[in-house]
Structure 1
Amino acid sequence: MQDHAPVDKTAIRNAATVIALRDRHTTPRVLMGQRGAKAVFMPNKFVFPGGAVDIGDHDIPLATPLSDPDADRLADDSSPGMGTALAAAAIRELFEETGQVLGHPGHWSNPPTDWHDFAATGHRPHAAPLQFVFRALTPPGRPRRFDARFFLFDADVLASDPDDFSAASDELSHLQWVALDDVRAFDMPFITEVVLSEIAARVTDPHPPKSVPFFKNNEEESLFLRLRGRLPED
């Protein structure tokens, strides 16, 4: 969740968070790391990789597009084209914070600055495995506010070694695969705990959920909505 540009502290920034799931059918584990003690947002907390959408994320040549109904649900109550930018941001943040590559082999020219290192791996971002499973708007009064979309994917589609974090930035420390049975022993933000409950319910069913929870916290009220989109035909 690097700050690549000056931040308007009053603005709500679009953001993407990535939940990599490993060993779904045996001992399910998720990839998490710990934010630094001096971080403005959620210091010391164990979180999933993720961060704000950058300007360059809007024009990234995805190797594969988002699947339905995810693209449709992401478009709900969002700016046009935000789904593609969110998917790109999710893949970029995963790579920056963990060194993991969710991509297909491919060459691209003149990538944005924030994408140079990813492009150098010889891959283009692979968005099709990303499953949109949760959305949450940070409540008012926090030092940073994000409209965060959470994406789940199975780690066996990674183009990198899931145990190799040597290319990771220092944004997150103690990167590790945490068993879902053990995860509540970690110090996590409340919203991460809520999302983990949703993930636990999804482990036995790889299909898109019937609807996506949306915690919409604005200045007037807190709403719990469901984003349904159009489910694919059987």
Structure 2
Amino acid sequence: MDKTSIRDAATIIVLRDRASNPRILMGQRGAKAVFMPNKFVFPGGAVDAGDRAIPLAKPVAAPCAARLADQSTLPANALAAAAIRELWEETGQILGTAADWPDAPQGWRGFARTGHRPSPDGLQFVFRAITPKGLPRRFDARFFLADAGALASDPDDFSNAEDELRDLQWIPLAQARDFDLPFITQVVLAEVSARVHDTAPPATVPFFRNDDEAHLVAQLGGDSPLR
């Protein structure tokens, strides 16, 4: 695939202690990474072809599935599966339901050995952004918000994580901007900060298009774009 083509991607923001001291799960990309080296990011990555066929424990919640369907032909379950898989691969955290999964496909067998099937329960679609032109890789990323209370794993145990992200940690939301963040992560943080005490699915979802002439933000499900 042409590295400059836009690939579908999913990113997951896990929020902990939202009622008292809100913290978010982030890690630092390696210095030799082609895409966003050294930056602190949320777990996430490209949607794999096999993510379309992953049997989720339950469907994506209707409001979020409807928003995901706006201007997209990719099934909501594929995006949710990608978010859950990336969370597992990059942090070792499990968003799933206790159940046997003897026929798990390659890429999910480690997850299945924990005794869980992936579940989008509690996932909320909160942001969409397209990587700007000029970068070595471009993604059409959908950002999901999840509460740490939905994790089926110890939130402080990163022993099952792969090595794509280092220095995994729960960063206080109020201090996150002190880290070396990509610009789009800063934009998403503002959206998350506004939703800390709002647990209902958003009525509209910001879509940061990253047009060359104007960084246009449209509201998926809304009536008009915002500049």
TM-score, structure 2 as length reference:
0.94
**Which string of whole-angstrom CA distances, capped at 9 and with x for unpartnered residues, describes residues 89-126 of structure 1?**
00000000000000001122332211111111110111
Aligned match for 1:54, one of 48, 52, 77? 48
Segments of 5+ residues of structure 1 without an aligned counterpart are: 1-6, 230-234
TM-score, structure 1 as length reference:
0.91
Across the aligned residues of Structure 1 and Structure 2, the Cα RMSD in angstroms comes to 1.4
Corresponding residue of 2:128: 135
Segments of 5+ residues of structure 2 without an aligned counterpart are: 223-227
Kindly indicate whether residue 23 of structure 2 is the aligned counterpart of residue 16 of structure 1: no
Aligned match for 2:103, one of 85, 105, 110? 110
Corresponding residue of 1:124: 117
More moved, 25-34 vs 212-221: 212-221
* Identity percentage of aligned residues: 65
Q: Distance in 1 between matches of 2:18 and 2:4?
A: 39
Q: Distance in 2 between matches of 1:79 and 1:93?
A: 21
Count of aligned positions? 222
- Cα distance change on mapping 1:27 and 1:221 into 2, 3 Å: closer
Kindly indicate whether residue 205 of structure 2 is the aligned counterpart of residue 200 of structure 1: no
Q: Distance in 1 between matches of 2:77 and 2:213?
A: 30
DSSP 3-state at the match of 1:114: coil
Kindly indicate whether residue 91 of structure 2 is the aligned counterpart of residue 98 of structure 1: yes
Q: Distance in 2 between matches of 1:61 and 1:31?
A: 26
- Once the two structures are TM-superposed, the CA of residue 219 in structure 1 deviates from its matched residue by 6.4
One-letter identity of the residue aligned with 1:202: R
- Once the two structures are TM-superposed, the CA of residue 140 in structure 1 deviates from its matched residue by 1.1
One-letter identity of the residue aligned with 1:223: L
Kindly indicate whether residue 32 of structure 2 is the aligned counterpart of residue 38 of structure 1: yes
Corresponding residue of 2:152: 159
Give the conservation status (yes or no) of the 8 Å contact 1:34–1:47.
yes
Q: Distance in 1 between matches of 2:159 and 2:181?
A: 24
Corresponding residue of 2:69: 75
Q: Distance in 2 between matches of 1:146 and 1:80?
A: 14
One-letter identity of the residue aligned with 1:15: A
1:143-182 pair list within 5 angstroms: 143-182=136-175
One-letter identity of the residue aligned with 2:73: S
- Once the two structures are TM-superposed, the CA of residue 171 in structure 1 deviates from its matched residue by 0.4
- Once the two structures are TM-superposed, the CA of residue 218 in structure 1 deviates from its matched residue by 4.8
Kindly indicate whether residue 57 of structure 2 is the aligned counterpart of residue 63 of structure 1: yes
Give the conservation status (yes or no) of the 8 Å contact 1:31–1:178.
yes
- Cα distance change on mapping 1:221 and 1:179 into 2, 3 Å: closer
- Once the two structures are TM-superposed, the CA of residue 30 in structure 1 deviates from its matched residue by 0.2
**Which string of whole-angstrom CA distances, capped at 9 and with x for unpartnered residues, describes residues 176-204 of structure 1?**
00001111110000000000000000001
More moved, 136-145 vs 214-223: 214-223
- Cα distance change on mapping 1:220 and 1:190 into 2, 3 Å: closer
